[in-house]
Amino acid sequence: MKNIVIVAYCYLSAFVIVDSSKGDQYYNNPMFREDEEYLFQFPPILKNESIWELHRIGEEIRDLVEQSANKSRFPCDSFFNYVCGDNSLISSVLGSTPRIKDLVIMFNALRNDDTIFYDGAKNKLINFYKSCSRKKSVDDCHVESFEHFKPLYGFIIARKFITDGDKETLRDILEKFLRRARGDGFLRSDGSLVCLEHLYRQLIDPNINFIPYKIDDVYRNLTIYPESYKHNIRNLERFHERQWYYIPCNSYATYSKNILDFTIYLFHSRNKPRSFYYATLNVHLWMVLFTNSIKYHEGMKYRVTADCYKLPSYINILDNARNLTVIYHKSLISAWEEYMMWKEHGTGEYDIKTIEVFNKENEILLPYGLSNEHLFYIYYTQNFCVFGQLFGDNVFLQGLKHNIKFIELYKCGVRLNMNPHIKCDLP
């Protein structure tokens, strides 16, 4: 149990995706792809792809609610089950694995790309996939290929699948977070965030961080056979034990794990509403800061707040779990505040129309009984589906139970699980 809790401390480890085979109907539906009269009902403040994505998400969540036995109380009984339950069409994957159809698109783009890898890194990926396909399903082989050859996927993502707008959005969010962190004094006491400032500078053009000869250097000593999947897996296990992707943040981080993770996150984030960024990325950034705070500054205050939550005994005996309840409660509030600051105080070229964007997203979501606020809390909860209901309800989602905005949004009565009678104050 303690190991499960420790996993939650991994920096930016849990990013979420929305996945459903039903979603394909929106990508292939002529109504969304060809009917220009329909599309131009919307001002050009949202990309067509963003409009399609919002419709897809809205449809999935509406289907989920309609499948619920008790539509009015289900979210308030267990918001974890509402988002992560067995019937959920929304899923969370630890480690940021893209959807299968996206993996197929990226694999084919890599195979057809004319960039030359002189020492054969790309050929090793293709040969591994061939060996895997002799033993496993196509879907499994695409997932394994991605997990074992992430730098190559980072290369093709940066080269072909993210736009200047995607990069500017992420840089804007990071810049505002860093500015606030500096103002609050965190950067003076948390040296790890120097890495984040370095990353902010590197994201001007992620493509320059994935150089073919450097990728060749990474895979030069790896032997891959097109026929022998068993031997390939053994070689890859030894290869990953070297942890080649960890480079000090103050060096030229060509294959820094942070650069790679953020590039893949950019791929996930394309076409998503701003609520996605704040409920996934910002929550984890604030978690890093508050984890430092609890260790060095406010330990006693955190313990008092954790006592207020009345955690179950199997949670209460673990200091890490008790601390996480407070850390993620504070992180949730800070991420929400930043989201509202973006909406209400937009500045700069990319923020001039923030209110219009926010309102237009809500206009699209309204027919599905949703709003941007609903998506924020849904995306936040998706971060923790992988940890299971016991930790989800009693650790990571404690902040929702004491959040008046959430309770009002979902109309949770005082007797329901997500609206405890006593509300706990944060340190």
Which pLDDT value is given to residue 266?
87
Report yes or no: 419 and 404 within 8 Å, Cβ to Cβ: no
As given in the structure block, the two tokens for residue 322 are 């008790």
Grade residue 6 by pLDDT with cuts at 50, 70 and 90: very low
Residues of the chain with pLDDT > 70, as a percent, come to 74
For residues 15 and 304, give the distance between their C-alpha atoms in angstroms, rounded to a whole number.
30
Grade residue 35 by pLDDT with cuts at 50, 70 and 90: very low
| pLDDT reading at 240 higher than 60 | yes
Grade residue 392 by pLDDT with cuts at 50, 70 and 90: confident
For residues 318 and 257, give the distance between their C-alpha atoms in angstroms, rounded to a whole number.
30
Mean pLDDT of 109-125: 92
For residues 286 and 334, give the distance between their C-alpha atoms in angstroms, rounded to a whole number.
7
Choose the weakest-confidence range: 79-93, 208-222, 247-261. 247-261
Which pLDDT value is given to residue 13?
37
| pLDDT reading at 231 higher than 90 | yes
Q: Which of 304, 302, 264, 300 is nearest to 281 (CA)?
A: 264
| pLDDT reading at 180 higher than 70 | yes
Which pLDDT value is given to residue 298?
58
| pLDDT reading at 302 higher than 90 | no
| pLDDT reading at 187 higher than 70 | no
As given in the structure block, the two tokens for residue 188 are 């003076």
Q: Is 16 helix (H, G, I), strand (E, B) or coil?
A: strand
Which pLDDT value is given to residue 37?
40
Q: Which conformational region is residue 310 in: left (phi greater than 0), alpha (psi within -120 to 50 degrees), or beta?
A: left
- When mean pLDDT is compared over 10-24, 316-330, 365-379, the highest value belongs to 365-379
Mean pLDDT of 224-234: 93
| pLDDT reading at 161 higher than 70 | yes
Buried b (16+ CB within 10 A) or exposed e, 365-402: beebebbbbbbbbbbbbbbbbbbeeebbbbbbbbbbbb
| pLDDT reading at 31 higher than 70 | no
Whole-structure pTM over 0.85, yes or no?
Answer: no
For residues 292 and 360, give the distance between their C-alpha atoms in angstroms, rounded to a whole number.
38
Mean pLDDT of 37-47: 51
Which pLDDT value is given to residue 74?
78
Which pLDDT value is given to residue 337?
92
Choose the weakest-confidence range: 175-189, 228-242, 366-380. 175-189
Q: Is 58 helix (H, G, I), strand (E, B) or coil?
A: helix
| pLDDT reading at 385 higher than 60 | yes
- When mean pLDDT is compared over 61-65, 260-264, 344-348, 403-407, the highest value belongs to 403-407
Which pLDDT value is given to residue 253?
37
CA dihedral defined by 163, 168, 171, 175, rounded to 10 degrees? Answer: 180
| pLDDT per position as a tens digit, 62-112 | 877 676 555 556 788 888 888 877 545 454 444 457 888 899 999 999 999
For residues 353 and 357, give the distance between their C-alpha atoms in angstroms, rounded to a whole number.
6
Report which of residues 333 and 198 the model is more confident about. 333
As given in the structure block, the two tokens for residue 146 are 């991605």
